């Protein structure tokens, strides 16, 4: 009896410790897999596809009945990609300060932007330009030292075995044989992309049209990890992703997931739409970016190239001004972590990984010193990021007998103000409390 009891206790202890071990191992594994992403902060999203020919909604235009499927696909004839130059794109992304770029390899319309062997619906086989877009993109982005992300829509409204065709028309309901045929096709494309382009990040979309079991989400995730043990997957894989993907809206409070990325259009469209002039200003883009990194997230800023492969002037201008700002303030951006809550400082902030530098983003021209409340750490030095000019700080409301940390006032000289967002750095004597 005693022996059985001892055995029972030992197996409980071992069982528990191996459980704890495997849990911590998983956390460590994920943290190391996510580390470049956590440091990267800025990515460029590229919606390039045949929808740029007529300048209409990517895929949704035929799904929502604004154009027939037949006429939608006629855009293939106008898709020349004649000035497409992946190297120029990559140079511009680098200039903007991006550390990764994500390209649509296939949108919900099912048109592959690479030479798929799984069917004939690709720009290589069917468009006027006949060019593989994905291959040179991956090479150019990698040559610049950036990570490669591949957008892939699970939805394929053009595929004869996919259940949904348009909002009004379904091909079938509950036909396991046809659905499995489609899954075979889809998995074939995933295999092609994984082996040919070896993405660092998969950006899935359209997972809402089936559940995890339907897509085989756990199997997909496992497969992609087998191809590349370091791969990262966005959240649109029915619970099997690695990070959160809010779309076109900065979260007000820090999301619960340690990793997240705001994907955002520059105007209101993902793809090229010449009539949409509702562009955010560089100032708005930069401030949204500061909001994201202040809450520990990334920004994936979208561009929609024209059918010939050139990037619209408005978008180039935004990327260039963003780039001026990101390069000047690189220390405050890359590799940083969430800053302090807004009750302590009324703007975005970040801190260095070791917690000894606190970066404060100043969104307006100050008409007096800026203030940080409740900072327990002593400030060793303070300067303006990008110019290196040291600035004065002063602690007020801290009598010698009080444990109250007081108010820290920081001077921002007028001639140091950046035309967009000024950043000051506080070096702390000890890691931020």
Write down the least CB distance from residue 331 to ligand GLC, Å: 30
Burial class (CB in 10 A: 0-12, 13-18, 19+), 144: middle
Beta strands in 208-363 (DSSP E): 232-233, 261-264, 298-303, 337-338, 349-351, 357-362
Of 259, 270, 289, 359, the residue at the interface with ligand GLC (CB under 6 A) is 270
> Which residue, 30 or 69, has its beta carbon nearer to ligand GLC?
69
Check: CB of residue 141 under 8 Å from CB of residue 90.
yes
Residue 351 token pair: 């801190």
Write down the least CB distance from residue 206 to ligand GLC, Å: 6
Beta strands in 272-321 (DSSP E): 298-303
DSSP summary character for residue 418: -
Place of tokens 């390209």: 103
Write down the least CB distance from residue 45 to ligand GLC, Å: 7
Burial class (CB in 10 A: 0-12, 13-18, 19+), 209: middle
Beta strands in 272-353 (DSSP E): 298-303, 337-338, 349-351
> Which residue, 47 or 306, has its beta carbon nearer to ligand GLC?
47
Of 101, 103, 263, 318, the residue at the interface with ligand GLC (CB under 6 A) is 263
> Which residue, 58 or 321, has its beta carbon nearer to ligand GLC?
58
Phi and psi angles of residue 380, each rounded to the nearest 5 degrees, phi first: -85, -55
In DSSP terms, 383 is beta-bridged to 390, 425
> Which residue, 58 or 132, has its beta carbon nearer to ligand GLC?
58
- What is the total count of residues that contact ligand GLC (CB under 6 A)? 6
Write down the least CB distance from residue 247 to ligand GLC, Å: 5
Which helix (H) or strand (E) element contains residue 371?
A: strand 370-373
- Cα distance between residue 188 and residue 165, in whole Å: 21
**247 part of the interface to ligand GLC, by CB under 6 A:** yes
Write down the least CB distance from residue 47 to ligand GLC, Å: 6
Q: How many CA atoms lie within 13 A of 58 on its CB side?
A: 28
Specify the 3-state DSSP secondary structure of 14.
helix
Write down the least CB distance from residue 263 to ligand GLC, Å: 5
- Cα distance between residue 378 and residue 381, in whole Å: 9
Binding characters for ligand GLC, 12-51, by CB under 6 A (x = yes): -----------------------------------x----
> Which residue, 58 or 418, has its beta carbon nearer to ligand GLC?
58
Neighbouring CB atoms inside 10 A of 342's CB total 13
> Which residue, 116 or 265, has its beta carbon nearer to ligand GLC?
265
Write down the least CB distance from residue 100 to ligand GLC, Å: 15
- Cα distance between residue 228 and residue 211, in whole Å: 24
**Chain mean position to CA 407:** 36
Binding characters for ligand GLC, 339-378, by CB under 6 A (x = yes): ----------------------------------------
Of 94, 205, 242, 291, the residue at the interface with ligand GLC (CB under 6 A) is 205
> Which residue, 211 or 247, has its beta carbon nearer to ligand GLC?
247
Write down the least CB distance from residue 152 to ligand GLC, Å: 11
Angle in degrees, 0-180, between the axes of helices 134-143 and 176-197, rounded to the nearest 10: 40
> Which residue, 155 or 358, has its beta carbon nearer to ligand GLC?
155
Binding characters for ligand GLC, 128-157, by CB under 6 A (x = yes): ------------------------------
Write down the least CB distance from residue 107 to ligand GLC, Å: 6
Write down the least CB distance from residue 161 to ligand GLC, Å: 21
Residue ranges binding ligand GLC (CB under 6 A): 47, 58, 205, 247, 263, 270
């Amino acid at each position: 009896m005693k022996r059985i009891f001892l055995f029972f206790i030992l197996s409980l202890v071992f069982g528990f410790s191996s459980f704890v071990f495997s849990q911590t191992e998983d956390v460590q594994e994920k943290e190391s897999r996510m580390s470049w992403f956590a440091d990267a902060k800025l990515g460029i999203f590229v919606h390039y596809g045949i929808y740029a020919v007529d300048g209409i909604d990517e895929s949704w235009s035929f799904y929502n009945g604004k154009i027939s499927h037949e006429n939608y696909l006629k855009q293939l004839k106008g898709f020349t990609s004649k000035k497409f130059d992946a190297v120029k794109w990559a140079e511009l992304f680098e200039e903007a300060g991006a550390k990764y770029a994500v390209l649509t390899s296939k949108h919900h319309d099912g048109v592959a932007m690479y030479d798929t062997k799984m069917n004939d619906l690709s720009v290589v086989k069917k468009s006027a330009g006949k060019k593989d877009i994905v291959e040179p993109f991956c090479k150019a982005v990698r040559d610049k030292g950036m990570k490669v992300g591949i957008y892939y829509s699970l939805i394929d409204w053009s595929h004869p075995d996919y259940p949904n065709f348009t909002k009004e028309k379904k091909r079938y309901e509950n036909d396991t044989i046809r659905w499995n045929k489609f899954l075979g096709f889809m998995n074939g494309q995933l295999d092609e992309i994984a082996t040919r382009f070896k993405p660092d990040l998969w950006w899935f979309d359209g997972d809402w049209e089936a559940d995890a079991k339907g897509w085989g989400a756990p199997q997909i995730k496992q497969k992609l990890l087998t191809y590349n043990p370091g791969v990262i997957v966005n959240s649109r894989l029915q619970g099997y992703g690695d990070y959160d993907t809010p779309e076109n809206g900065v979260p007000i409070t820090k999301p619960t997931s340690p990793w997240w990325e705001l994907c955002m259009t520059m105007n209101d469209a993902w793809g090229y739409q010449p009539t949409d002039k509702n562009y955010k200003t560089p100032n708005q883009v930069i401030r949204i970016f500061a909001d994201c990194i202040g809450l520990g997230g990334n920004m994936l800023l979208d561009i929609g190239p024209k059918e010939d492969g050139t990037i619209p002037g408005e978008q180039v201008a935004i990327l260039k001004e963003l780039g001026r700002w990101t390069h000047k303030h690189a220390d405050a951006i890359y590799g940083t972590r969430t800053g302090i809550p807004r009750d302590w400082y009324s703007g975005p902030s970040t801190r260095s990984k070791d917690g000894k530098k606190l970066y404060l983003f100043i969104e307006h021209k100050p008409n007096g010193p800026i203030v940080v409340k409740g900072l327990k750490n002593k400030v060793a030095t303070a300067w303006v990021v990008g110019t290196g000019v040291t600035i004065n700080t002063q602690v007020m409301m801290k009598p010698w007998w009080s444990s109250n940390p007081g108010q820290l006032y920081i001077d921002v000289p007028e001639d140091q103000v950046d035309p967009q967002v000024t950043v000051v750095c506080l070096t702390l004597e000890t890691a931020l409390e």
